[in-house]
A = this chain, B = another copy of it.
């Protein structure tokens, strides 16, 4: 089977995603195309990078992950494909693939230069349809990776904001707010791996103070709680409500974990 995932900022209001699928199915009629999300905020490379990071591992090996969050479409930015031990990735060279690639064993990165793999004429404003979708379809059918174009040694990086330690405290930040209003941080479970994991207090923007628990309903309705969420990161939640709304949390807000 041939699996292709799509992560974009195209929204669901227009025909953009549908036409990408049309192009894919014209080349690879047996492909199964799965939407990760199309609601990445327009041009928000970090949000797209985080969605890919949170999702890519859950797909069968050899899945082709396509990410189109591409404010520089048509400009001089490169279009690339990446082959790792487990997957293929296709997208603009603007850092949107970085956080996922940091978890993978990268074998090769190629520029998308082979025009035989494109849909023609190539629009200057919609490479999702004319470049990324057809390249993904060809890769899903076994197209030779090295024939896509020249190798790229130094893709544009998107640095992961690493948490810092000061004494007993671990300082991180909110990197994503999800649909439920849970505020996901950059603090992963390994950073807190110790006998004391349970005995911590979490502070977000001086406004939220809560303990760590295993699940949302471990605290009474309306109360805040920190949990290690399904993407492997510490998140700040409110049982039955939106932590982001309740405490006016935003991406970039500081979060501190201290022993209790």
Contacts and interface: CB of A to CB of B under 8 A. Distances in A.
Interface of A: 1, 3, 5, 7, 10-19, 21-23, 25-26, 29-30, 32, 34-39, 42-43, 51-52, 54-55, 58-60, 63, 71-75, 123-126, 129-130, 178-180, 214-218, 227, 229-230, 240
Given A180-B42, A216-B71, A25 B13 contact: no
A230 B123 contact: yes
Contacts of A215: 73-75, 124-125
Given A227-B124, A227-B125, A214 B74 contact: yes
B73 A18 contact: no
Contact of A125 (B14, B130, B229): B229
Contact of A12 (B1, B12, B34): B12
A39 B12 contact: yes
Contacts of A130: 230
Nearest to A123: B230
A54 B45 CA distance: 26
Nearest to A33: B34
Nearest to A128: B230
Contacts of A129: 58, 230
A43 B35 CA distance: 23
A233 to B, nearest CB: 11
B217 A74 contact: yes
A22 B250 CA distance: 29
Nearest to A20: B58
Given A13-B37, A14-B178, A18-B37, A26 B230 contact: no
A238 to B, nearest CB: 11
Given A14-B37, A15-B36, A124-B215, 12 more contacts: A15-B37, A15-B52, A18-B37, A19-B58, A29-B60, A42-B179, A42-B180, A74-B214, A74-B216, A123-B230, A125-B227, A125-B229
Nearest to A77: B217
